[in-house]
Every structure is written in C-alpha cells, then in structure tokens.
Amino acid sequence: MAFTTINLSPSLKLVTNNNGFVGFSKSFLPSNLFLGNSSFSLAALSFTSNHQSSGRHNINGSRWSSTAFRCFAQKSEPSVSVDGHGSKDTSERVVVLVIGGGGREHALCYALQRSPSCDAVFCAPGNAGISSSGNATCIPDLDISDSSVVVSFCRKWSVGLVVVGPEAPLVSGLANDLVEAGIPTFGPSAEAAALEGSKNFMKSICDKYGIPTAKYQTFSDASAAKQYIKEQGAPIVIKADGLAAGKGVVVAMTLEEAYEAVDSMLVDGIFGSAGCQVIVEEFLEGEEASFFALVDGENAIPLESAQDHKRVGDGDTGPNTGGMGAYSPAPVLNKELQSLVMESIILPTVKGMSAEGCKFVGVLYAGLMIEKKSGLPKLIEYNVRFGDPECQVLMVRLESDLAKVLLAACKGELEGVSLNWSPGSAMVVVMASKGYPGSYEKGTVIQNLEEAELVASSVKIFHAGTALDSDGSFIATGGRVLGITAKGRDLEEARDRAYQAVEEINWPEGFYRQDIGWRALPQKQFAT
C-alpha cells in the first residue's frame, strides 16, 4: 500500500493512504482542530464527518470535532481549480488564517472552507458559532494585537494566506508586519488603511484625484464648526475623523442636533482621539448602496452589489448601527452605474493611492449615495475591509475559489480575473440584543438555531456575538448577534426564507427589523 506524507508545517506531517486518513506524526494539535468532508479510518476507529455533525471523537489522546476542517485525507495531489479566464490550473492548496471574530469573519471562513485551493481555515479569535459550525478552527487565545505572535503562529502552522477582517488591526499595521515577514496578507498597510482610519485623509484623496464626494470642511475647533454649520443649515452630517466602531456619524436634521454632535465629539470627547477632528459634510439625499472591489495595488475587480440597512428601526428610523440587514444584488446599482463607480471612484482611488506611495491591497468598500437629483453616485466613505452584514450575502452567493482570488490579489495578479456568482438573490436579517445600539443585556440564551437552519437548504446562520454557557447553550455577548442569511431565486424568495428562519429562533431578548429589502420589494410584502 502506498503512503503519502503531506507537510502541514515544519513540525507537523499528515500521513495518508489510498483509503483515507492514517495519522499525524505529531502528538499535540489544537484541541478543536477540525476535520471534514471525508471518511477516515484509524486502527479500529472509523467515522464519517459532515457539516451537520457535532460529535467529538478521541484520537490518540486528542479531542477532535468532526465537523469541518477541510482535510487533506482524500487528496494527496494538488487540487485543480478554474481561474478567472475559465482555464484549469494546478496549484498547491493553502492554509488560511482569518483575523477577527464577528459575522463578517464567519462568512469569510464559510467561503474559504468551500474553496478548492484551501486546505484548512483558522480563525482568531473566532467565536462559538464559527467553531460549532465547523467552518474554521478557532484560536481564541491568539493575541491578534501582537503582530509577532501572529507571525509566529503563521510560521508554526505553515499559513499561506492571512485575511484580516476588522479595520482596527489594519490601521494599527498588522498587514505591514505580516508582509514584512513574508506572509501573504489580504488587507492594506496602515498607510493605505488611512482611507478608513481618517475621513479627512479620504476626503483629501477625493479632492486631489477628482473623486465625486459630498462637500465638506474639517474642524478641530467647536466654535468654528458651529459657525460653518449655521452657514450651511440643516440637515447636515457630522463625522468623527477616526475609527469610532461605526458610531461616529450623526445625520443631524436640525441645527441643535448638529451643535450637540459637535460638542459631544470635540468638547466631551466621547470618541477619544478618534473625535479630535470632525468632518462637517453636506447632506446628500438619495439611495445608499455598498460597492466592493478587490484590489491588488494596481488593478481592481468588482464584487457583486449589495445594499445595507444602517438605521435600527423599520422604515429607516432611529439611530445608525453597524448594519441591521442587507441584500444582494442591489437593483439601484445597475450595470451602467457599476461601471461608472469603477471608472469615477474605485480606479481613481487605486491609482491615486499608488501615486501617493501607499499601494492599496485588499477590499475597497465604498459607501455610496445615488443622488436623487442627479442619479449619479457620490462617495460617502471608504472602508478598507468587507462590510458587515454585506459580506454575508456576498459570500453565500460567491461560487469562485475565494482563497485563490485573494492570494492573487496579494501577488498583484488580479488583471483579467473575473468572479462567478450564483444566480438569484441573497438576504441577511440581523438579530440584535434589545437596546442596541445603546446599552443591552449580555448572556441571554438563544435557542432553536439548528431548527432555523433547516427551514431551507439555502439558509445559513452566521454568528457575530455568541458564546457557549456552561450548559452548552448559545448566549448573546454583543449588540449584533446573528445574521440569518438565505438565498432564493429572487429577492422575494430569499426574504421569505430568511424571515421564516428568524421566526424559528427562540430569543425573547433579541429583536430585528421586519422590512429588510423594502426599497427593492413591493410594499405589500411588508404589510402587517
């Protein structure tokens, strides 16, 4: 019988034969390392793993979850995948580390795990839902704020691609340190991440390279800001310059609201150093949309369109949140508008950042306003990572090999690449803790998640803020907690499936918007 040895890291080897898994040549492995999509035999022990299983097995003294680590057992040769040109190529499969622990990261792990070129997915810190779903091996104790620790982990486990989910590690320079260590990293340098880390920097790039955006002024003095606001009138928008966890934007409908927002940021310092400067921006009337593009430093390719719902309440009422739901595609962004966004906003930004000496590698997330008066797109803001919850609907629709595409971006090889998407639509409904975006109770029990995912085969629940209690039950640990996602032949079917799944979930302390997709669907769909 022929045996094949696969090197997973300098100190870890997997030995396989034609019939499947034989064993590891190292006795210690992470206690929750996942194996999946294969049948294995080891001595007298046999088991079959699948995505629905949650059973744990003891192999060579280690505890294992058989739910889903894309394994090396059945394939000893490199995988064959299809590139953006439609041709087949042979390439080594890669171990991926996803940085973050929210719903966006769960969706990325889900898509990466399905990638033919991906052998294994780690997620740090991850969360209980990611771990239990089997979409990744979570490493909760990895200190992602310490670049040297992350680099050491990548070297130990032969990580060939790091995907950074949240903005904070990017702004603090994690990608710089990983790239310097020779580890391919999908995410911009700290210098390029200033597109999100400083709204004033983003606006200055728009000014210099002719990118359409709202008229604005930047202030560090409250009196000067108020004088400008008085001259411009309301409604008007006040933004903290730096990162404020999605809470640094106030759409003031009156002068009093605007003055209050200025005082809270510049005088009271509610956002600390992030609010030392404020951007006072004209109010744009129209329809918001999210546009995403993968960037390799010089080239950019668009992702499918999506639309978020920022306000906490039905009918787009109440304060802004991190996002209460999304759908894809967004009818407001037709093909003509998408081309216009690429030509007038995305590509000038990519070329401008390159000219400034800080090439952007990663995903550019453009928050757009399709102006009511002109019908043309203007840039509201840039994010330098996938949106949340837009990432959820994009990842369930993506049919291309995500790991392969992101690695191509890291290598500057996106030119000519195209992406494949499932037909139809997808929708995600966010379930949040009552009180969000204000104060809320933590530790409330969530039940019937498995039943909810059985509503339809296209339903997938992404976890954003969950943990397991001592009884093994899921509990809420954050404001936005779950993203109930579904695909359908059209948006109406996706919506019906998502809300059917939501209704199965037993969580009295949670709430959700009941009108996700209202701009794109007939109003009768939301009649009570």
DSSP assignment of 128-173: HHHHHHTSSEE-TT--TT-HHHHHHHHHHTTEEEEEE-SHHHHHTT
In this structure, is residue 122 part of a structural domain? yes
Of 148, 174, 190, the residue that ends a domain is 190
What is the dihedral sign for C-alpha 266, 268, 269, 271? negative
- Closest listed residue to residue 133, CA positions, set 425, 510, 466: 466
Both tokens of 355, joined, read 């000219």
- Contact present, 209 and 349 (Cβ < 8 Å): yes
DSSP state of 316: T
Q: For the chain, what is the radius of gyration of the CA atoms?
A: 23
Q: What single string gives the DSSP state of each residue in 2-47?
A: -EEEEEEETTEEEEEETTEEEEES-S---TT-EEESSEEEETTEEE
CATH number at residue 177: 3.40.50.20
Q: What single string gives the DSSP state of each residue in 194-238?
A: HHHH-HHHHHHHHHHHT--B--EEEES-HHHHHHHHHHH-SSEEE
Q: If you search the block for the tokens 């959820």, which residue do you land on?
A: 392
Give the least confident one: 67-71, 105-109, 226-230. Answer: 67-71
pLDDT tens digit sequence for 317-370 = 998 888 999 999 999 889 999 999 999 999 999 999 999 999 999 999 999 999
Do residues 177 and 227 both lie within one domain? Answer: no
Q: 287 vs 499, which has greater pLDDT?
A: 499
Residue 70 in this model has a pLDDT that exceeds 50: no
Do residues 170 and 258 both lie within one domain? Answer: no
Predicted pLDDT of residue 247: 76
What is the dihedral sign for C-alpha 189, 191, 196, 202? negative
Of 26-40, 52-66, 274-288, highest mean pLDDT:
274-288
Q: Tell me how many domains the chain contains.
A: 2
Neighbours of 457 (CB within 10 A): 10
Average pLDDT for 276-289: 93
pLDDT tens digit sequence for 171-223 = 899 999 999 999 999 999 999 999 999 999 999 999 999 999 999 999 999 99
Query: How sure is the predictor about 525, in pLDDT bands with cuts at 50, 70 and 90?
Result: low
Residue 488 in this model has a pLDDT that exceeds 70: yes
Query: How sure is the predictor about 272, in pLDDT bands with cuts at 50, 70 and 90?
Result: very high
CA 94 to chain centre: 20
In this structure, is residue 151 part of a structural domain? yes
Do residues 103 and 169 both lie within one domain? Answer: yes
What is the dihedral sign for C-alpha 258, 262, 263, 268? positive
Do residues 180 and 241 both lie within one domain? Answer: no
Do residues 274 and 228 both lie within one domain? Answer: yes
In this structure, is residue 236 part of a structural domain? yes
Strands of the sheet containing 94-100, edge to edge, are 137-138, 118-125, 94-100, 159-164, 185-186
- Contact present, 401 and 82 (Cβ < 8 Å): yes
Using a pLDDT cut of 90, give the percent of the chain over it.
75
Do residues 163 and 111 both lie within one domain? Answer: yes
The per-residue pLDDT of the chain, averaged, comes to: 85
Number of residues that this document lists for the chain: 528
Predicted pLDDT of residue 33: 52
In this structure, is residue 510 part of a structural domain? no
Enclosing domain of residue 101: 94-190
> Cα–Cα distance between 338 and 342 in angstroms, integer?
6
Do residues 277 and 236 both lie within one domain? Answer: yes
Give the dihedral of Cα atoms 124, 126, 128, 134; nearest 10 deg: -90
Predicted pLDDT of residue 240: 95
In this structure, is residue 86 part of a structural domain? no
In this structure, is residue 233 part of a structural domain? yes
Of 283, 300, 322, the residue that ends a domain is 283
Both tokens of 332, joined, read 């407001």
Of 283, 298, 318, the residue that ends a domain is 283
Do residues 178 and 108 both lie within one domain? Answer: yes
- Closest listed residue to residue 100, CA positions, set 43, 145, 135, 157: 145
CATH number at residue 267: 3.30.1490.20
Do residues 185 and 102 both lie within one domain? Answer: yes
Q: Are strands 361-371 and 377-383 parallel, antiparallel or unpaired?
A: antiparallel
Alpha helices per DSSP H over 24-127: 103-113
In this structure, is residue 143 part of a structural domain? yes
In this structure, is residue 266 part of a structural domain? yes
Give the least confident one: 111-115, 166-170, 509-513. Answer: 166-170
Do residues 234 and 269 both lie within one domain? Answer: yes
